[in-house]
Amino acid sequence: FSGFILYSVFVGASLGSMPEIISQIQAMSGATDRLREIMGLPTEADGGQAVEHLGGALAFRDVHFHYPSRPDQAVLAGVDFEVAPGQRIALVGPSGAGKSTVFSLILGYYRPEQGQVLFDGRDAASLDLHALRKGIAVVPQEVMLFGGTILENIEYGKPGASRQEIIEAAKQANAHAFIEEREQGYETVVGPRGVKLSGGQRQRIAIARAILADPRVLLLDEATSALDAESERLVNEALERLMVGRTSLVIAHRLSTVRTADRILVLNQGKLVEQGSHDELMAHGGTYKVLVQTQLG
Ligand code: ATP
């Protein structure tokens, strides 16, 4: 669905004229924010209590949630967890377990119908969403770049950043070398009508953008599609640098990722069924062990 909207916006598909398409998108509450999230871009939002600085502590307290369009389906049914500042958490579970929904609630696209999402002990419902989201960066599974130069795509993480800052972020993200290899360098136009970058290169642009944004909280949706070994090494190295000192939640699809997490949260049918380290959960012999054997292995 989201991909369809993106396609329509960028390609101007047969939905109607561009103003019609834009008004259709605006009519769908949260859709433009969702688009921005998919692209790993900051999002627009409303007012609320000011958030000067995020400490990086995050918690779900008895969170219950269903999507408005499906009132009969409980997607999260009493989820409780706490993450300390700087911790690295892997979120795993079968398809449909509610992992992406956890991200959507952290980003405030939806509110819990019961329970709370807390940042540094403060209920997210009372905080200024726009300011809150400035402290959170998302690296989505499939990175979409917008039509513009590579420089502009990275700068989006921190509007007004200097060229030097942008280049430094690209270096940290292992993106500088491939950018410099292009004839136009940082002025290379990418996006739907520009140069096509590989999946791994787009991920590294998104990582550079996140490094520049300097968030306290990181939400990473690990790519399921395999990259070639060298590209994967470069992406992983860049992600490691990005995660240092930040609270990170990773929807994990690889065993190597869960192994390096401080804690693994196992979601199944909207419930947190297990949590612990890889070794603890393997010894427990429950849902996690089955997941490792069937999906993560
Ligand atoms: P996957 O690993 O396949 O991405 P997930 O664990 O991230 O799955 P979610 O995407 O959070 O799971 O979905 C949880 C449930 O909510 C699923 O049953 C899904 O069909 C439903 N769902 C997700 N998004 C929406 C939506 N926008 N409207 C209605 N139902 C939705």
**Is the entire prediction scored with pTM above 0.90?**
no
Q: Is 93 in the pocket of ligand 1 (CB under 6 A)?
A: yes
pLDDT above 90 as % of the chain: 66
Task: Say yes or no to pLDDT of 229 above 80.
Answer: yes
Whether 99 is in the pocket of ligand 1, judged by its Cβ within 6 Å, is yes
What rounded mean pLDDT belongs to the chain? 85
For 185-203, how does the pLDDT look when each residue is reduced to its tens digit (9 = 90+)?
Answer: 999 999 888 889 999 999 9
Q: Is the pLDDT of residue 40 over 50?
A: yes
CB 82, CB 281: distance < 8 Å: no
Question: CA nearest 137: which of 171, 169, 106?
Answer: 106
Beta strand 114-119 with 271-276 is unpaired
Please tell me the distance between residue 56's alpha carbon and the centre of ligand 1 in angstroms. 26
| pLDDT band (50, 70, 90) for residue 10 | very low
- Are 169 and 208 in contact by the 8 Å Cβ rule? The answer is yes
> Is any atom of ligand 1 closer than 6 Å to the C-beta of 89?
no
Q: Which atom of ligand 1 is nearest to the CA of 270?
A: 14
User: Is pLDDT of 22 > 70?
Assistant: no
Question: What pLDDT, on a 0 to 100 scale, did the predictor assign at position 27?
Answer: 42
Residue 66 alpha carbon to ligand 1 centre in Å = 10
ipTM for the complex? 0.98
CA 21 to chain centre: 26
